[in-house]
Amino acid sequence: MEVEVYNIKGGKTDRKVKLNDAVFGIEPNDHAIYLDVKQYMANRRQGTHATLEVSMLSGSTRKLHRQKGTGGSRKGSIKSPLFRGGARVFGPQPRDYNFKLNKKLKKLARLSALSYKVKENGFTVIEDFTFEAPKTKNVIEMIRNFNAENTRLLLVTSSTDPNIVLSARNLQKVKVINASDLNTYEILNANRMLVTESSLREIENITQN
């Protein structure tokens, strides 16, 4: 599959690049995508939530009144969950949400996500570029050139260029990512991908290895 190469002004160059069908043209597997995104979201959770149980509360353990003969219910202590300010029953405690997935499944998920992007025309190859200095205006102008003002944009580069990263960091809907860090969630979370020529080979390497 051949696609046009664009410059950062949004115009076509006189060149085309060939996309590897084994990476960008497979039959997507939705279940693999689901599992990979689920793992990504789970691994981002801190798991530091906690509530106080009876043994963790400070307060008197004195029995409030005698067990029988009052006509009311039995009450053990003021820390009972039945009272305002009391403990919580079976509340959340700190835990680790991480879980593992097979490497082949994660690879299939990335390939599926990339294939979806190409199939939906959300994948554009651009020439390698750099900025002389970090300026948000440069990225805004590039976004306008590709008519992507109101979309979530993922810019994939082969190396971390500080000027490009700093130029885009104040834009809420634009994210710059190194090709080696590309994952299923970031691919699907973006409405459109701008991928530099030099990063294509790197994407093929991480998705096939």
Comparing CA positions, the residue from 95, 98, 77, 97 lying closest to residue 86 is: 77
Structure tokens at 56: 């963790």
pLDDT at 76: 87
pLDDT in tens, 172-197: 999 999 998 999 999 999 999 999 99
pLDDT at 208 exceeding the cut of 80: no
pLDDT at 207: 66
Helix axes 103-119, 30-43, angle to 10 degrees: 110
Average pLDDT over residues 28-40: 97
pLDDT at 209: 59
Q: Is the pTM of this model over 0.85?
A: no
Amino acid of residue 197: E
pLDDT at 160: 83
Average pLDDT over residues 33-48: 96
pLDDT in tens, 5-15: 999 998 988 88
Comparing CA positions, the residue from 163, 199, 198 lying closest to residue 179 is: 199
**What are the structural domain ranges in the chain?**
2-45+101-208, 49-96
- For 69: left if phi > 0, alpha if psi spans -120 to 50, otherwise beta; the answer is left
Average pLDDT over residues 14-27: 91
Q: How far apart are the first and last CA of the chain?
A: 21
Average pLDDT over residues 44-59: 92
pLDDT at 201: 86
Superfamily of domain 2-45+101-208 in the CATH hierarchy? Ribosomal protein L4/L1 (3.40.1370.10)
Residue 37's H or E segment, with its range, is helix 30-43
Residue keyed to tokens 């307060």: 59
